[in-house]
Amino acid sequence: MADESDYYKPRQMRIPDGEWLPFEDAAKAVHPEGRGPRAAVVREFIRWYMRRPGAKLPERPPAGSWSKAD
């Protein structure tokens, strides 16, 4: 199991700005509090994807400006 310090190791992903930037607004619609709403959603998805006990697919926000393609 990961300890608390593992959350502070930076990870790199290549995601186009046209998806990453609106993703923050979408994540904030579901997680309005906290420093890293995108990170919270990504962590939830990873736990669900690996079928970890109790993990659930992240909640999706209602359609918004982020729903439109570039």
Number of structural domains found in the chain? 1
Residue 28, domain extent = 15-60
Integer Cα distance of 39 and 37 in angstroms: 5
What's the Rg (C-alpha) of the chain?
13
pLDDT, mean of residues 38-59? 94
The answer to whether residue 8 is domain-embedded is no
pLDDT, mean of residues 41-50? 94
Instruction: Give the pLDDT band (50/70/90) at residue 2.
Output: low
Instruction: Give me the pLDDT at residue 28, please.
Output: 92
Q: Which residue did the predictor score with more confidence, 31 or 50?
A: 50
pLDDT at 1 over 60: no
| 8-31 pLDDT, tens digit each | 788 888 999 999 999 999 999 998
The answer to whether residue 43 is domain-embedded is yes
Which residues make Cβ contacts (< 8 Å) with residue 55, sequence separation at least 6? 44, 47, 48
